[in-house]
Structure 1
Amino acid sequence: MRISELSARAGIATATIKYYLREGLLPPGELTSATQARYNEQHVERLRLVRALLGPAKLTVARVRDVLRVIDEPGADMFTALGAAQHATLDEVEAVDTSVALALVERAGWRVDPSGPELAQLARALHAADDADFEIPEGVLDAHINAAARVAEAELAHMPEDPRHALRYAVLGTILAEPLLSALRRLAEQSAAADRFGPAT
């Protein structure tokens, strides 16, 4: 397909596609002349991935390039590649005391990277609650831990076997599922509140 058809298929302007090509986010098409190239379904898939990373994920072009590099060259160690892909989707976190966060994940029995940005992200969230003098009841924390563990297990159970597809699945699943999880939690609380405080039906 020519770039105009690629634009129509992906729903992305031709000028934007050319920008992605210049930035190395989209591999070049097969040259058919000095000024023309042919594109395929892999280009459509890549454009949708790039759009998700730049849009809902709000990653910078440089960060998107890092994520794509991991997806394109996963290497033999899938565990390390998954960690690198996940790290690349997170903003840099200022140095923060992670001791409370680490104690929480150890209590959960999780094996995590103690130097990873995810632990720092959890530490920031716990510090924010502490700064607001908001005590999260232990039972609520346990419920969050148990729910997160079940979601993670379900997501990994459906992960494709092909490393590149698995990394794409992991990256998009992380980015797109986080707002989904937040919305589902709010709706579940709305329903629980109706059951507890609402009028009898």
Structure 2
Amino acid sequence: MRIGELSRRTGVSVPTIKYYVREGLLPPGELTSPNQASYGEAHERRLRLIRALLDVGGLKVAEIADVLAAVDDRERPLHTVLGAAADRLGGADAEDDDAEAAAARAAVADLLSRRGWVTYESSPAAADLARALAAMARLGHGAFVEVLDDYADAAEQVARTDLAYVDRQVAVEDMVEGAVIGTVLGEAVLSSLRRMAHVDASARRYGADGPRERKRPPHGHAAHRERGKS
């Protein structure tokens, strides 16, 4: 197909496709004349993967280039490809250096040791977790570390589900792509499911018909008025 048809089929503009080719994200088409190139289904599939990683996964162009380089490296084990994708998620903020941050890093290190996870404390995911725990502690929710193992149990189940999906792929290139999709796009799937489950669980527990209906206390001036009536 010509680049115009590739653009129509994927919804990506021709200038953007040419940009991806220049940046090495998309292989160039096969030249059929000095000014014309032909593109195939592999180009369409790669282009859709790029857009998914960009639009849904939230990765930057340079990060996508790193992930795709790992995908295309036939000598790289699947495990390291998965790591290359995972390391591109998060980890962008600078770390704080206060008591809460130190305690959070210690809690993460203890979690990794306690569960025997094969990872490293300086990974972007570990840093993100420490930052989140530190932020919670600063807001008065330092006790959240007490439920980390419950979250870790759920995370292990999700990871097993991700890799079970990867194992369903027959071709090696499909397994590699499946690993990337499960890591990057699966993050968006899990986040969406968690938000919906939160609303459902909250309605069942605290809603009007739930077993533990709670009314919010009066706030601000209304609270003073309520106290004045007593």
* CA offset digits 1:66-113 (Å, max 9, x no partner): 111001114243222321232134444545653221212322332212
Aligned to 1:165: 174
Report deviation, 1:153: 0.5
> Counterpart amino acid of 2:163?
L
* CA offset digits 1:33-70 (Å, max 9, x no partner): 00101110100011111112222233222222111100
Aligned to 1:193: 202
* CA gap 1:186/1:176 in 2 versus in 1, 3 angstroms: same
* CA offset digits 1:93-143 (Å, max 9, x no partner): 545653221212322332212332111111111111112111344664332
* Further displaced range: 189-198 or 115-124: 189-198
Asked if 2 retains the 8 angstrom alpha-carbon contact of 1:2 and 1:39, the reply is yes
- For structure 2, the residue ranges without an aligned partner over 5 or more in a row are 97-101, 211-230
Structure-2 separation of matches of 1:163 and 1:68: 15
Within 5 Å, which residues of 2 pair with 1:75-86?
Answer: 75-86=75-86
Question: Does the alignment pair 1:125 with 2:120?
Answer: no
Tell me the secondary structure at the aligned position of residue 130 of structure 1: helix
Asked if 1 retains the 8 angstrom alpha-carbon contact of 2:57 and 2:184, the reply is yes
Aligned to 1:40: 40
Asked if 2 retains the 8 angstrom alpha-carbon contact of 1:74 and 1:163, the reply is no
Tell me the secondary structure at the aligned position of residue 87 of structure 2: helix
Asked if 2 retains the 8 angstrom alpha-carbon contact of 1:74 and 1:81, the reply is no
Aligned to 1:180: 189
Asked if 2 retains the 8 angstrom alpha-carbon contact of 1:90 and 1:117, the reply is yes
Tell me the secondary structure at the aligned position of residue 129 of structure 1: helix
Structure-2 separation of matches of 1:88 and 1:57: 10
Asked if 1 retains the 8 angstrom alpha-carbon contact of 2:57 and 2:187, the reply is no
TM-score (norm. length: structure 1): 0.87
Within 5 Å, which residues of 2 pair with 1:1-201?
Answer: 1-92=1-92, 94-95=94-95, 97=102, 98-137=105-144, 140-159=147-166, 160=169, 162-200=171-209
Structure-2 separation of matches of 1:164 and 1:85: 15
TM-score (norm. length: structure 2): 0.77
CA RMSD of aligned residues (A): 2.3
Which has the bigger relative contact order, CA under 8 A and spacing at least 6?
1
* CA gap 1:39/1:93 in 2 versus in 1, 3 angstroms: same
Structure-1 separation of matches of 2:174 and 2:89: 17
* CA gap 1:16/1:4 in 2 versus in 1, 3 angstroms: same
Structure-2 separation of matches of 1:41 and 1:169: 17
Bigger radius of gyration among the two:
2
* Further displaced range: 147-156 or 161-170: 161-170
Structure-2 separation of matches of 1:58 and 1:186: 18
**How many residue pairs were aligned?**
201
> Counterpart amino acid of 1:126?
L
Tell me the secondary structure at the aligned position of residue 88 of structure 1: coil
Identity of aligned residues (%): 44
* Further displaced range: 163-172 or 66-75: 163-172
> Counterpart amino acid of 1:150?
Q
